[in-house]
Chain A
Amino acid sequence: MMSELLDRLVRDFGVTDITERPPAITTLKVSKENGERLIRELRDREGFTHLNFIACTDWIEDGIFRLIYMLHNYDSKQNLGVHIDIKRDHAEMTSIHTLWAQAWTYQRELREMYGIHFPGSPRLEEDFCLEGWDAMPPMRRDFDTAKYSAERFGHREGRVSLVPRDHMKVQLYPNRGGDES
């Protein structure tokens, strides 16, 4: 049954990269343009009535954000992950807040954590978890949280740690071993 469905999705929505993943999910990829339509179809026609979550993975090396919409069909107990790649430098996606009540919350989160825009999504510009945030969206891969924390919050002074291997070299054989080149 699943294969029939997938065949149809390939035909009608041009989905690609269909992958079975352990323990029991299927992921597929669809274009940004067909995304909202596909998800609506899955919810209304195919019984994927449950939206588990919306999340995003930053593939900075490819210049994309990969959105994942995880859907579940309670009757057939199928899990379907819909991947939608959007450009990092033009991070925008169609809002699905009319499909599920919790969708706009996820979209608010993605807006705050990744800077992805969802036109029309309610309360999108409100602070979600952060307050008065003045740096790059923190979940982006190029945001260095350790550096930010050290600069803004500091650490208690008085701690020094030595590296055993380097310490032993200094103590026991300073002029030997691999030469630095």
Chain B
Amino acid sequence: MNLKDLLSPFYVWQRAFEKPYTSIRPIQERPGAAAYRGFHINISEECIGCGTCHKICQNDAIDMVRVETYEGRSGDSGLRPRFDYGRCCWCALCVDMCPAGSLRMSNEYTWITSDPTEFHFTAGVEHTTWQDNPLGYHRAEGYHLYPPKRIEMEMLPPEVSVQSFDEVVAGYSEPQALLEADRCIECGICVATCPAHMDVPDYIRSIRDRDYEKGLQLMYRTNPFPATCGRICTRRCESVCPVGIQGEAIAIRWLKRFIVDQIQPQDYARILADQTGNSGHRVAIIGAGPGGLSAAYYLRKQGHAVTVFEAQASAGGMLRYGVPSYRLPDADLDKDINYIVSLGVDIRYNTRIGKDIRFEQLLQDFDALFLSTGLSVPSSMRIHGEEHPRVLSGLQVLADVASGRDPGVGQKVAVIGGGNVAMDAARVSRRLGAEVTILYRRRIADMPADTEEIHESQEEGCHIVTQAIPVEIIAASSPQQVSIKWGEAEMVQDPKGGRPRPVLQEDRMHVETYDCIISAIGQGSDLEFLSKEIQDQLAIEWGKFAPGEYQHTSLQKVFVGGDVANRTADAISAIEDGHHAARGIDRFLNPDARTHTDQEVN
């Protein structure tokens, strides 16, 4: 022991004159750090109730509860997270995971109560003092719990694709599909939005498990056209995919296609093992498009005998005659159709109702009817000179190409319209060697066609002229040509709201001569095969049927579906109509038996 050691403790006195460490008013003067993980904030308006926070929470601290304000919104479950602070550990995985980006944390942290049941609150719905606190934890830029970017799809380069009718999209390879399938967060929001309510998360999971046969089985539960929909579906599911809010939506369509592509047609029967009995009932279906064949598939599974009447020489309807083969190769369409037909569906080709058989005859001969005749009559522009022989209809051009006929578009083509038919007609014309101009009365953003289709047609060299309103068709000097007079349009906001309307500028008119003009401004139904009396009974609005629940009409036996009966007019809706009509027909045919396969409301 030395003196220094003895004295050293007294050095503590040197601190006596320093500023004290003590925080004078600790509760007030020390807010949490800017990124502190305090109490939860949820922007309920942005939240979509996907439940991913609930799923990632290892403490089971988050319940998804009904909040009526948000029920019925598109792509929103109407549920909102409710936190249990008797469970939470403030790890913020829920914040990191939140695909909507609506969840974050404030930097508040003091909550004292004598009642532990109080620690339950629905953030953003119940009032909290911290809801508007700008500080607190949020997910840092560059940090993700799931990959936000989609696996890019390989496609034929436009200079190659335009040379032939070969399929443009390559399809995912297995490693690509596994990576893309991995991105799914399995919330199931898409299931409600899909018109057919396909089990999207489940079949994506089957990819991750590399169980493609299971994937096929899952898809056929709701959709007997997976090869087709895997290529041309309008994929509303992707538009509501939560992953798409802060990143890119899961490529649901391409994953569906991937599953089908892994399976050979000859294996379908073994994998799906569909049972078809014999109920003794006979059902007639008019139209072998997606709606009619979907109904046929599910009716056969219910054991009913099915006869399909088709006016064309092949089945598929618009899928065959309206969708070009570079988007949907015949082989893939046939994969779907052949399997349905293989279940014992009798298709009468080249049989037009009203011409070859009377509708009333069918009413007499069959126990139930399903009408799914589609929209086959091209809309007319109703402008002068429209009847010129060099004005072709888009549908006709597509049908000609699909049937192997030359539509004779010539070298210089103008396409009028902004829908998918217009884009297809334009791209088909490009493949036939023409130089193509698309005239559209509004802006590109207003085009009803898929953005991908618009993009691809531009890539393939179609020249899109927007805000161009055709006013007159004029005979050209050569009978092989035709001129069009069109005027430029200004977009004017309608004071009553809605989308802006194009207004013709009469001082800015153009006249241009083409080898042909393809009109593709929409199509309507052809219901001439129905007598006036029957039409009056079927409740037709705007040229379309207005079916009831289960697709039934006021004519007891008659069920309707597809483009001719719905507003969305796409394949997937037609497929759902067919499926649902099959349910309705089954209920109608077996009113007592509880063999109905539909799930009752629980």
In Å, the complex CA distance between A30 and B319 comes to 65
Check if A3 is an interface residue, CB within 8 A of chain B: no
CB pair B116 A175 closer than 8 Å: no
Residue among A160, A168, A174 with most chain B CB within 10 A: A168
CB pair B598 A167 closer than 8 Å: no
CB pair B222 A178 closer than 8 Å: yes
Check if A11 is an interface residue, CB within 8 A of chain B: no
CB pair B116 A156 closer than 8 Å: yes
Surface stretch bound by A, among B94-102, B153-161, B188-196: B188-196
Q: List chain B residues, Cβ under 8 A from A174.
A: 599-601
Q: List chain B residues, Cβ under 8 A from A152.
A: none
Query: Which B residues from 426 to 467 make CB contacts under 8 A with A?
Result: none
Check if B2 is an interface residue, CB within 8 A of chain A: no
Q: List chain B residues, Cβ under 8 A from A177.
A: 191, 196-197, 199, 222, 599
Surface stretch bound by A, among B60-68, B169-177, B524-532: B60-68
CB pair A165 B71 closer than 8 Å: no
Q: List chain B residues, Cβ under 8 A from A156.
A: 86, 116-117
Interface string of B56-84 (1 = CB under 8 A from A): 00000011111000010000011100101
In Å, the complex CA distance between A151 and B221 comes to 39
CB pair A173 B79 closer than 8 Å: no
| Interface residue total, chain A, C-beta cutoff 8 A | 24
Q: List chain A residues, Cβ under 8 A from B191.
A: 165, 168-169, 177
In Å, the complex CA distance between A173 and B550 comes to 12
Q: List chain B residues, Cβ under 8 A from A162.
A: 63-66, 79
Query: Which B residues from 179 to 202 make CB contacts under 8 A with A?
Result: 187-189, 191-192, 196-199, 201
CB pair A164 B197 closer than 8 Å: no
In Å, the complex CA distance between A156 and B600 comes to 32
CB pair A178 B221 closer than 8 Å: yes
Q: Provided the pairs A171-B71, A173-B192, A175-B598 are in contact, do residues A161 and B65 lie with their beta carbons within 8 angstroms?
A: yes
Interface string of A127-166 (1 = CB under 8 A from B): 0000000000000000000000000000010111111110
In Å, the complex CA distance between A167 and B192 comes to 10
Check if B583 is an interface residue, CB within 8 A of chain A: yes
Q: Nearest chain-B residue to A158 (Cβ)?
A: B117
CB pair A179 B602 closer than 8 Å: no
Contact of A167 among B77, B579, B601 (CB under 8 A): B77
In Å, the complex CA distance between A168 and B86 comes to 28
Query: Which B residues from 218 to 245 make CB contacts under 8 A with A?
Result: 218, 221-222
Q: Shortest beta-carbon distance, B562 to chain A, in Å?
A: 16
CB pair B188 A168 closer than 8 Å: yes
Check if B139 is an interface residue, CB within 8 A of chain A: no
CB pair A168 B120 closer than 8 Å: no
In Å, the complex CA distance between A175 and B197 comes to 11
Q: List chain B residues, Cβ under 8 A from A169.
A: 191-192, 197
Check if A4 is an interface residue, CB within 8 A of chain B: no
CB pair B599 A163 closer than 8 Å: no
Check if A180 is an interface residue, CB within 8 A of chain B: yes
Query: Which A residues from 92 to 121 make CB contacts under 8 A with B?
Result: none
In Å, the complex CA distance between A172 and B598 comes to 14
Q: Provided the pairs A175-B599, A176-B580 are in contact, do residues A167 and B78 lie with their beta carbons within 8 angstroms?
A: yes
CB pair A168 B77 closer than 8 Å: yes
Q: List chain A residues, Cβ under 8 A from B597.
A: 179-181
Check if B289 is an interface residue, CB within 8 A of chain A: no
Q: Shortest beta-carbon distance, B565 to chain A, in Å?
A: 15
Q: List chain A residues, Cβ under 8 A from B117.
A: 156, 158
Contact of A165 among B188, B550, B600 (CB under 8 A): B188
Query: Which B residues from 491 to 511 make CB contacts under 8 A with A?
Result: none
Contact of B221 among A159, A172, A173, A179 (CB under 8 A): A179
Check if A170 is an interface residue, CB within 8 A of chain B: yes
Surface stretch bound by A, among B47-55, B125-133, B397-405: B47-55
Q: Shortest beta-carbon distance, A131 to chain B, in Å?
A: 25
Q: Provided the pairs A159-B63, A173-B192 are in contact, do residues A164 and B49 lie with their beta carbons within 8 angstroms?
A: yes
Contact of B50 among A164, A173, A175, A178 (CB under 8 A): A164
Q: Nearest chain-A residue to B54 (Cβ)?
A: A161
Q: Shortest beta-carbon distance, A166 to chain B, in Å?
A: 8
Q: Shortest beta-carbon distance, B152 to chain A, in Å?
A: 28
In Å, the complex CA distance between A172 and B221 comes to 19
Check if B332 is an interface residue, CB within 8 A of chain A: no
Q: Provided the pairs A175-B599, A179-B597 are in contact, do residues A164 and B221 lie with their beta carbons within 8 angstroms?
A: no
Check if B213 is an interface residue, CB within 8 A of chain A: no
Q: Provided the pairs A171-B71, A174-B601 are in contact, do residues A161 and B192 lie with their beta carbons within 8 angstroms?
A: no
Q: Provided the pairs A160-B65, A164-B51, A178-B199 are in contact, do residues A172 and B192 lie with their beta carbons within 8 angstroms?
A: yes
Q: Nearest chain-B residue to A178 (Cβ)?
A: B221
Q: Which residues of B contact A (CB under 8 A)?
A: 49-51, 54, 62-66, 71, 77-79, 82, 84, 86, 116-117, 120, 187-189, 191-192, 196-199, 201, 218, 221-222, 549-550, 576, 579-580, 583, 597-602
Leading 7 A-B pairs by shortest Cβ distance: A165-B188, A177-B197, A164-B77, A161-B63, A178-B221, A168-B192, A179-B597
Q: List 19 A-B contacts (CB under 8 A).
A: A156-B117, A158-B117, A159-B63, A159-B84, A160-B63, A160-B65, A163-B64, A165-B188, A167-B78, A168-B188, A170-B602, A173-B197, A174-B600, A176-B579, A177-B199, A178-B199, A178-B222, A180-B597, A180-B599
